Amino acid sequence: MARCEDVHEYDVSLDGEGLVIGIVMSRFSPEIGEGLLSACTSELRRLGVDESDISLATVPGALEIPLTLQTMAQSGRFDALVALGAVIRGETYHFEIVANDSSRGLMEVQLDCGVPIANGILTCEDDDQALARMQQKGSDCAQVAVEMANLLHAFGERS
């Protein structure tokens, strides 16, 4: 239902049937990455994305994720993409660089390529914090990817 008369409002759709989703996962914190991946793929399947329509690429760390996502986005094969990984604060400034630049890279790719990207790169103080957040974040990313893919498809369908 539209919020105002005569205003078209796009419906939120979490129907993943027929969508093709690409996932890029960092191998740097493997336990956290695998937890994010498990939650994400379980939720994608629950939303109706066929397992054969989910592709996974792994990369060494968070800074390698944007380039891989860009290549996937430029292929034209994917309706949406998901970035998964964890950047854990250490004793040096490296945390800020990796967290900020990986996030900036994801935003640039989705704006340049027009393919939505769900950001599931956790930025946490420690491993315990990341472990506590990984299930919810992985699931949230699946929902974001499906919703945004459907929204962008709806723009093309409305005349």
Active site residue 94: yes
Which DSSP string do the residues of the chain spell out, in sequence order?
--SSTT---PPP----TT--EEEEEESSSHHHHHHHHHHHHHHHHHTT--GGGEEEEEESSGGGHHHHHHHHHHTT--SEEEEEEEEE--SSTHHHHHHHHHHHHHHHHHHHH---EEEEEEEESSHHHHHHHHHHHHHHHHHHHHHHHHHHHHHHH--
- Of 46, 77, 94, 153, which is the active-site residue? 94
Please name which of 116, 121, 102 lies closest in space to residue 20, comparing C-alpha atoms: 116
CB-based contacts of 97, cutoff 8 Å, min separation 6:
none
Catalytic residues: 94
